[in-house]
Amino acid sequence: MSDQTLPARPNIRQVAAAAGVSHMTVSRVVNNHPSIRPETRKRVLEVIAQLNYRPNVAARALATQKTRRFGVLVEAAQEYGPSSMLRGVETAARAAGYFVTSVGLQDEEGELSPQAAVDHLTGQGVDALCVIAPRSSSVATLRRINIDVPVLVIKAEGDPNFLTVSLDQKQGANLLVDHLADLGHRDVLHLSGPLDWLDARARERAYNHRRKEWGMRERPIVVGDWSADFAYDFAKGLKRRPDYTAIFAANDEMALGLVHGFHDRGISVPDEISVVGFDDVPLASHFLPPLTTVRQGFHDLGVKAVEVMKAAAEGSEIPQRTKLGVDLVVRSSTAAPRSGAR
């Protein structure tokens, strides 16, 4: 062992002495208490940074009965949407001084039951639980589980059993259908995600409702699995050239598969058929052609989810349901249908 001794970790009383305040004031600053004057907060934060002070989370948990930890249950963490939501929650939680423990229900090794996931997370003493991109079966199971912390579910529809936060799936579908209709399309096929996924179901329902409002032709939907491979096989395997003029794919990965499959089939996008997606993945602007899609603000969603969970854990009054808007991003994968194809 070295003769050198490590410098002692600064404690809250040392911070208080250096800042010229009480240790309770330092505690209030660390916990973001609203009653602290701005100049006092600034001085304490400067001392915290100078001394590299780190609050003792275990001691604070014993004192407040709070762990400052959120549990996150993710339906399929490998998919772009759920993984982006999880990153948004993690980033926002870190900024708010919370830790995050996440569990995926689906991964390469198989599936974990919602009951087992909840047991794992609540066993760590989380202050609130967040459920990301759930399937209907998972939500049904959660309703039967006795969970003694606030539960926030990220899904489009409100729920009497849980707090909900979502990006507006109906608005997104409406924006896409309206865009295609404004270009002149009246025959649009919908390639949905798996309909036991609540977001996929919300997009499909909104598409159908808006399609009817525009007087578009009714077609059976094609149920996909979110993957580019599925959409590629669908487009490449068509026995004849499509008589519909556009496809609304429920996510960008399937839209990419469609564009690739149509290319290999000798069908030009958007000259012969328009394609839209949903999500605005980072590479959507680099597809050939660049993809028209709906941009979802996953960071903003994470901030709102953490804000709601923090308020619920602290017993503050919060709305049962919160919905955030989305944006249409128009690129080159859509165009007016060719003359005579409407």
Looking at residue 58, its pLDDT comes to 43
Question: What number of residues does the chain have?
Answer: 342
Quick check: is 63 in a domain? no
pLDDT of residue 212 exceeding 70: yes
Distance between CA atoms of residues 36 and 30, nearest Å: 11
pLDDT of residue 147 exceeding 50: yes
CA 230 and chain centroid, separation: 23
Number of domains, the chain: 3
Looking at residue 66, its pLDDT comes to 65
User: Hunting for tokens 């006092």 — which residue is that?
Assistant: 40
pLDDT of residue 135 exceeding 80: yes
The answer on 150 and 200 residing in a single domain is: no
Average pLDDT (320-330) is: 96
Average pLDDT (66-72) is: 86
The answer on 241 and 197 residing in a single domain is: yes
Average pLDDT (36-63) is: 74
pLDDT of residue 99 exceeding 70: yes
Predicted confidence band of residue 32 (pLDDT cuts 50, 70, 90): low
Distance between CA atoms of residues 271 and 336, nearest Å: 8
The answer on 173 and 292 residing in a single domain is: yes
Looking at residue 54, its pLDDT comes to 67
Predicted confidence band of residue 119 (pLDDT cuts 50, 70, 90): confident
Quick check: is 219 in a domain? yes
Quick check: is 101 in a domain? yes
Quick check: is 162 in a domain? yes
Please give the share of the chain, as a percent, with pLDDT higher than 90.
61
Looking at residue 1, its pLDDT comes to 42
HEC string of the chain equals CCCCCCCCCCCHHHHHHHHCCCHHHHHHHHCCCCCCCHHHHHHHHHHHHHHCCCCCHHHHHHHHCCCCEEEEEEEECCCHHHHHHHHHHHHHHHHCCCEEEEEEEEECCEECCHHHHHHHHHCCCCCEEEEECCEHHHHHHHHHCCCCCCEEEECCCCCCCCEEEEECHHHHHHHHHHHHHHHCCCCEEEEECCCCEHHHHHHHHHHHHHHHHHCCCCCCCEECCCCHHHHHHHHHCCCCCCCCCEEEECCHHHHHHHHHHHHHHCCCCCCCCEEECCECCCCHHHCCCCCEEEECCHHHHHHHHHHHHHHHHCCCCCCCEEEECCEEECCCCCCCCCCCCC
Quick check: is 266 in a domain? yes
Looking at residue 98, its pLDDT comes to 92
Distance between CA atoms of residues 337 and 184, nearest Å: 6
Average pLDDT, the chain: 88
Quick check: is 54 in a domain? no
Average pLDDT (123-136) is: 87
pLDDT of residue 46 exceeding 70: yes
Looking at residue 65, its pLDDT comes to 53
CATH number of the domain at 107, please.
Answer: 3.40.50.2300
Q: Which domain holds residue 147?
A: 69-167+298-324
Average pLDDT (30-59) is: 76
- Minimal CA–CA distance to 128: which of 147, 106, 107? 147
Quick check: is 51 in a domain? no
pLDDT digits (tens, 9 = 90+) for 263-316: 999 999 999 999 999 999 999 999 999 999 999 999 999 999 999 999 998 888
CATH number of the domain at 23, please.
Answer: 1.10.260.40
Looking at residue 218, its pLDDT comes to 96
The answer on 151 and 184 residing in a single domain is: no
pLDDT of residue 63 exceeding 60: no
pLDDT digits (tens, 9 = 90+) for 163-202: 999 999 999 999 999 999 999 999 999 999 999 999 999 9
The answer on 110 and 146 residing in a single domain is: yes
Distance between CA atoms of residues 143 and 20, nearest Å: 50
The answer on 291 and 198 residing in a single domain is: yes
pLDDT of residue 206 exceeding 70: yes
Quick check: is 126 in a domain? yes
